[in-house]
Amino acid sequence: MNELTWSVVVIALVALVGCNVQTSSGPSEPASQPAAVGAEAYYQWLTGCLDAIEKDLPKYTRSAEAAAELYVKDGCEIADYGGDPFAREIFGRSGGMMKMMTFDEALLGKKLAPELEKAVVLVGLRDDGVDKAAEKIAEFKKKGYYVVVFGRAALLARVRATGALADAEFDTHAAPEGGLFQDAKGQWIIPTDSAAASAASWMWMGEFVAACTRQGKMPVMYLGYAVEGAMEREARYKGVKFHDKLPSRLEVGQLSKQWMSSLRKSLASMHASDMPQIRRAAAEAKEARAAGHKLWAYLQGHVTLKLLPYPHDPQWFEPIHRDWATLRKDATVGKGDFVLCIGFNQVFAGKDWGNFAENSRAAGAKLAWSFTDYMPEQVRAVPAGEIYINQHWDKGDAVALVPNYDIQCLPTSGVIAEAVLWMVHAEILSTNDTNCTKGNSK
């Protein structure tokens, strides 16, 4: 097990109106330097988290190689468990494995793996599910499964204390307390566990796919539905575990490092060009809330779909969506409300989206959008006066190249979309009042 990456909590006196905030220092931020605040602090934490995960590459490789040998030679299947968003992010996902199954109740009825004779199981931890996860880990081990667990050091320790011991466990390098900031009431808020676990799980998956090729097999990977021909390709490979031919033999780190490099590039581009828009979104949200209006979030993505509420989420924003492109029937956006819309590649407008954008504008709400820019007509569809935060990832949402393979692997959009969400939250906190931890009235 790795020790906690962070050993020091830096106390930052933030320029708030009556709200003191402590910031967890990260591996990219020496304790001797002043702590950043707001969206900048979240960005620094995330980039430092990625640095720490990549330094653990040898451990990822060892686990992935052990799992790949079981998957290729011993007839194992592969599945996940851990609730939203961990299980949803690596299951049925652009750039992910088509044969990934799940033991997670949130995804029941899709590719549930209730009785597998042999399996590799990836388990993600969150504060409000540790006890249940420990029970599931013990159950998986009793069945003889190879179990890999992802979580921050404190959560891994809680699982071990129950006697549930995994075959491999990975410190995701989330903030030590889970939340990045401590508010005036002593609560740790602005979650870091989810983004860290997503990053760690894709790091492991990159090493696993590469290790399979060194065993002579290439797992069948998903092409994102936004790409032409994706549905036909899925039908062609449905139920297929490995391709007939090996496209190439991948070396240690060949996929995971490509994924990490591409993610860093997208985040750096967003940091360089979109921080003003993130700060503007936070300012408009704060203004709307101060005037007594509601803050809504319309989130579309494997990571974000069911993300709210999440441990350490201050619950300032209430989800307006029920599912994919589906709104709640018990909630309505009103005049003066602020809606943070985080999606993939388009504005939520027109019949397919229930005319959400049109109806919200007609109601007098303020809208902020975040999606990527490979469809320039969609970027132009954001009217003057509304906010656009570019996510800076390319069509296909998969970034790691396997030589001689027909598609790329491993997506980055989930981590980026979540970063947008919490950077807006962090910026609100850095300029908030003494009621900064209060959510909307329910």
The predicted-structure confidence for 366-421, as pLDDT tens digits, reads as follows 999 999 999 999 999 999 999 999 999 999 999 999 999 999 999 999 999 999 99
Residues 6+ apart with CB under 8 A from 149: 123, 124, 125, 133, 137, 156, 159, 166, 168, 169, 170
Residue 9: per-residue pLDDT: 30
Residue 22: per-residue pLDDT: 53
The predicted-structure confidence for 244-262, as pLDDT tens digits, reads as follows 999 999 999 999 999 999 9
CATH of domain 275-430: 3.40.50.10490
The predicted-structure confidence for 11-21, as pLDDT tens digits, reads as follows 232 333 233 44
Average pLDDT over residues 301-327: 96
SS3 1: coil
Q: What is the 3-state secondary structure (H, E, C) of 71-135?
A: HHHCCCEEEEECCCCHHHHCCCCCCCECCEEECCHHHCCCCECCCCCCEEEEEECCHHHHHHHHH
pLDDT band at 109 (very low <50, low <70, confident <90, very high): low
Domain limits, CATH 3.40.50.10490, in the chain? 9-263, 275-430
Residue 105: per-residue pLDDT: 79
DSSP 19-87: ---EEE--TTS-TTSPPP-HHHHHHHHHHHHHHHHHHTHHHHHHHHHHHHHHHHHS--EEEEES-TTHH
CATH of domain 9-263: 3.40.50.10490
Asked whether residue 82 carries a pLDDT value surpassing 60, the answer given is yes
Residue 265: per-residue pLDDT: 98
Closest CA to 170 of 200, 209, 146: 200
Please provide the average confidence, as pLDDT, over all residues in the chain: 89
Of the listed ranges 37-41, 108-112, 238-242, 414-418, the least confidently predicted one is 108-112
User: Which is higher by pLDDT, 112 or 299?
Assistant: 299
Structure tokens belonging to residue 414: 């989930």
User: Which is higher by pLDDT, 344 or 23?
Assistant: 344
Average pLDDT over residues 110-136: 88
> For residue 189, what is the enclosing H or E element?
strand 188-191
pTM of the model: 0.90
Average pLDDT over residues 271-295: 98
Average pLDDT over residues 91-116: 80
Q: Are strands 146-151 and 119-124 parallel, antiparallel or unpaired?
A: parallel
Asked whether residue 24 carries a pLDDT value surpassing 60, the answer given is no
User: How far is the C-alpha of 384 from the C-alpha of 274, rounded, in Å?
Assistant: 16
pLDDT band at 31 (very low <50, low <70, confident <90, very high): very low
SS3 426: helix
Average pLDDT over residues 55-61: 98
How many other C-beta atoms can be found within 10 angstroms of the C-beta atom of residue 65?
17
Asked whether residue 6 carries a pLDDT value surpassing 90, the answer given is no
pLDDT band at 430 (very low <50, low <70, confident <90, very high): confident
